[in-house]
Amino acid sequence: MSYTLPAEWALQDAIMFTWPHSETDWAPILADVEPVYLNLCRHILRYQSLVLVVHSESEQARVRALLCEQQLDLSKIQFVITPFEDTWARDHGPITVTNAHGQLKSLDFTFNGWGNKFDASLDNSINQAVFAQVLNPLAQSEQVNFVLEGGAIESNGQGTLLTTGSCLLNTNRNPHLTQAQIEQLLSDTLGISHFLWVNHGHLEGDDTDSHIDTLVRFAPNDTLVYVCCDDPSDSHYHELERMALDVKALRKPDGTAYNLISLPWPSAKCAADGSRLPATYANYLIINGAVLVPTYQDKNDAFALSQIAKAYPEHEIIGVDCLPLIHQFGSLHCISMQLPKGFLR
């Protein structure tokens, strides 16, 4: 029985977070970022469970205390204890495929710190701890000798994969493989029969080599949601204009066009040193019955929420202030990984 990578809006057991702690790069702003995580936990627990990866037993006790202070339902939270360097669960977390009988296979791809930019040896071991501590014994798991981050791929659940050439074809990931070989491997492991490549689009301050989840997302009803910039003075303007042309040229397997919904571009958000931070509304998270959308205390927040509501009419749309997150160069989707129905023991 063949397996396929489900769409993010397929039923889920839980969302996985890898919780920031004082030995990560979050340390200087931990007091600002933990409330964001707690706010996200509050919203998610209305709909489903959580898996929280924590650095140590003492960290588990500390995080449990924070959750208790917020009166959150600990009965719907499972902990995985394992050491780690960073917290980007989207990129080091398991990528799980399902088959027509509802059976799961959770894949542990190699995480190399976005092309060996950062040490990731501990992060690359997280999935094995997740499998050992919370994976349903009826589910399969498999290590795949291929560098892949979850933020680099989008699936519509029907065999179509959306990605960017600047990431998946980058020589800092799998330099020994051609595009055709990469497509074949993803066809074999993720059940992909149709590939959509986006060749333009980039966020300043982004370390991922243009992950698709910062730029273009799948939505139900053959819809693509993509970011665009209407300010010619913005440094992203011309590149996102080219990306819009890429998106408009994409075709379904039958040759017809996708429905398109554009998202606004937030005004420039900068670090203390003046460098641009990678704020994007495309980095939203779909859970059971809701879409959690990053907001940035920006004049375009409300319009972004209304556009995403058009794309996911069956979901509640919830804005979450993620301005603290982008100070570590990622946003809401980047810190999370969905675990499909049947994942948890």
CATH code, domain with 263:
3.75.10.10
Residue 181: pLDDT band with limits 50, 70, 90: very high
Element (DSSP H or E) covering residue 195:
strand 194-198
Domain that holds residue 301: 12-340
Distance CA(155)–CA(307), nearest Å, equals 20
Per-residue pLDDT tens digits for 44-97: 999 999 999 999 999 999 999 999 999 999 999 999 999 999 999 999 999 999
Residue 187: pLDDT band with limits 50, 70, 90: very high
Q: Is residue 7 part of a domain?
A: no
Could you tell me if 6 and 97 are in contact, meaning their C-beta atoms sit under 8 angstroms apart? yes
In the chain, the amino acid numbered 242 is R
Per-residue pLDDT tens digits for 259-283: 999 999 999 999 999 999 999 999 9
pLDDT at residue 221, as a whole number: 97
Residue 1: pLDDT band with limits 50, 70, 90: low
pLDDT at residue 309, as a whole number: 98
Q: What is the mean pLDDT of residues 131-139?
A: 98
Distance CA(280)–CA(210), nearest Å, equals 12
Closest CA to 18 of 146, 130, 114: 130
Distance CA(324)–CA(189), nearest Å, equals 35
Q: What percent of the chain has pLDDT over 90?
A: 100
Phi/psi at 166 (5° precision): -65, -20
Q: Is residue 3 part of a domain?
A: no
Query: DSSP code of 5?
Result: P
Per-residue pLDDT tens digits for 205-256: 999 999 999 999 999 999 999 999 999 999 999 999 999 999 999 999 999 9
Q: Is residue 71 part of a domain?
A: yes
Q: Is residue 274 part of a domain?
A: yes
Count the domains in the chain. 1
Q: Is residue 249 part of a domain?
A: yes
Element (DSSP H or E) covering residue 43:
helix 30-45
Q: Is residue 284 part of a domain?
A: yes
Q: What is the mean pLDDT of residues 181-185?
A: 98
pLDDT at residue 180, as a whole number: 98
pLDDT at residue 220, as a whole number: 98
Q: Is residue 6 part of a domain?
A: no
For 324, the token pair is 């603290």
For the chain, the residue count is: 345
Query: Please, is 218 exposed, middle or buried when counting C-beta atoms within 10 Å of its C-beta (0-12, 13-18, 19+)?
Result: buried
Query: DSSP code of 170?
Result: -
Q: Is residue 201 part of a domain?
A: yes
Closest CA to 298 of 337, 265, 340: 265
